[in-house]
């Protein structure tokens, strides 16, 4: 009786704790990239749950059917060489599961690295997202605006983030819009996201980067294109321009609130030239190599003519 009451109390406490938890943000997607990842997570959970249930069911069956109390004291089990069918099932099913999850993972990786599904025909909004200890700087080169620790984006439009860092490696992550991606000091990585709905989402640095890591967060607001255009206009009418001196102070380690500027730091502190993950990076690299090869050929001809 005591064991039953202890088990009941434990289940009641567990239910109370879980009922107070907020839903996982990664399972509440608000964009196509996040939905792809959430679907993959749920499919993996269902597959793992089926495996666990099957294994425990077989375990209980074996323990009940072949328990020692059912046999006489002088019972000796027969010698068994093995069963090819059982062995094939035990090896084959895990192999099939691994192959299936591998194909699923590769397919979804290509999907989330590309322009979000349904937005291929739209021109993306390019935003340079750079981190420093312990802040996020968002530069809008087309709008000539820069914000600190907050991000405004238009809904139903693809966003192309260019990520890099002014300090240690960080990881840019907006759980309800897509997966995380590293921001590094010597290269630019590209992340494609989109918000299907208007609303506010949490963003953060998901990679430990020192004592101020816990508060290295930012707020994302998704709005209509008209509201976004109004915000851009308002910033140009009210915000002060960002200067190199101001930006140097922003880079000093510490936490800050939100701030907004006209202009971007890209004018006097450009992003690293090495691009990774951009659809145009391979083209630019090949053109650069072609230019170098032509230059080398010209020099060779010049020396041979001499």
Residue 303 lies in a domain: no
Q: 208: closest CA among 168, 162, 235, 237?
A: 168
Q: Is residue 132 part of a domain?
A: yes
pLDDT of residue 291: 43
Residues 186 and 52 in one domain: no
218 and 254 both lie in a single domain? yes
In a domain, 19, yes or no: no
The 10s digit of each residue's pLDDT in 120-141 is 999 999 999 999 999 999 999 9
Identify whether residues 131 and 109 lie together within a single domain: no
* SS3 per-residue string spanning 198-265: CEEEEEEECCCCCCCHHHCEEEEEEECHHHHHHHHHHHHHHCEECCHHHHHHHCCCCCCCCEEEECCH
Residue 291 lies in a domain: no
pLDDT band at 241 (very low <50, low <70, confident <90, very high): very high
Range of the structural domain that residue 97 is part of = 26-65+84-113
pLDDT tens by residue, 144-184? 999 999 999 999 999 999 999 999 999 999 999 999 999 99
In this structure, are 89 and 178 located in the same domain? Answer: no
166 and 277 co-located in one domain: yes
Count of helix runs (H) and strand runs (E) in the chain: 6, 13
Both 45 and 161 in one domain: the answer is no
Q: Is residue 268 part of a domain?
A: yes
Give the pLDDT score at 302.
43
CATH of the domain at 176: 2.60.40.420
Does 238 share its domain with 161? yes
Same-domain status, 129 and 269: yes
Residues 280 and 138 in one domain: yes
Within-domain flag for 292: no
Does 298 reside within a domain? Answer: no
Number of domain units in the chain: 2
Q: What is the pLDDT confidence band of residue 289, given thresholds at 50, 70 and 90?
A: very low
Q: Outline where DSSP puts E strands in the chain.
A: 125-132, 135-140, 145-148, 150-154, 159-165, 170-173, 181-183, 188-193, 199-205, 217-223, 240-241, 259-262, 275-276
Q: What percent of the chain is predicted at pLDDT more than 90?
A: 68
- The pLDDT value recorded for residue 288 is 41
Decide if pLDDT at 279 tops 80: no
Instruction: Look at residue 13 and tell me if it is in a domain.
Output: no
């Amino acid at each position: 009786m005591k064991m039953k009451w202890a088990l009941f109390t434990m289940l009641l406490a567990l239910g109370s704790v879980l009922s107070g938890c907020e839903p996982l943000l990664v399972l509440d997607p608000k964009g196509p990239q996040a939905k792809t990842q959430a679907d993959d997570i749920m499919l993996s959970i269902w597959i793992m749950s089926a495996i666990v249930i099957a294994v425990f069911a077989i375990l209980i069956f074996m323990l009940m059917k072949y328990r020692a109390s059912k046999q006489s004291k002088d019972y000796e089990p027969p010698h068994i060489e093995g069963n090819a069918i059982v062995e094939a099932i035990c090896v084959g099913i895990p192999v099939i599961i691994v192959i299936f999850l591998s194909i699923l993972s590769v397919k979804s990786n290509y999907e989330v690295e590309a322009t979000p599904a349904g937005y291929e025909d739209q021109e993306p909004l390019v935003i340079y997202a750079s981190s420093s200890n312990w802040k996020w700087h968002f530069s809008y080169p087309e709008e000539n605006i820069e914000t600190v620790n907050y991000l405004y984006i238009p809904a139903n439009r693809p966003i192309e983030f260019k990520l890099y860092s002014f300090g240690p490696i960080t990881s840019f992550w907006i759980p309800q819009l897509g997966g995380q991606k590293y921001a590094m000091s010597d290269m630019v990585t590209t992340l494609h996201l989109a918000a299907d709905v208007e609303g506010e989402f949490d963003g953060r640095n998901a990679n430990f980067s020192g004592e101020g890591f816990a508060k290295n967060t930012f707020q994302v607001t998704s709005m209509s294109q008209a509201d976004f255009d109004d915000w851009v206009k308002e910033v140009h009418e009210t915000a002060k321009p960002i200067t190199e001196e101001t930006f140097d102070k922003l880079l000093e380690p510490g936490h800050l609130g939100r701030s907004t500027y006209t202009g971007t730091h890209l004018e006097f502190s450009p992003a690293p030239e090495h691009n990774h993950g951009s659809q145009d990076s391979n083209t630019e690299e090949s053109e650069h190599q072609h230019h170098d090869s032509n230059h080398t050929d010209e020099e060779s001809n010049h020396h041979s003519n001499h």
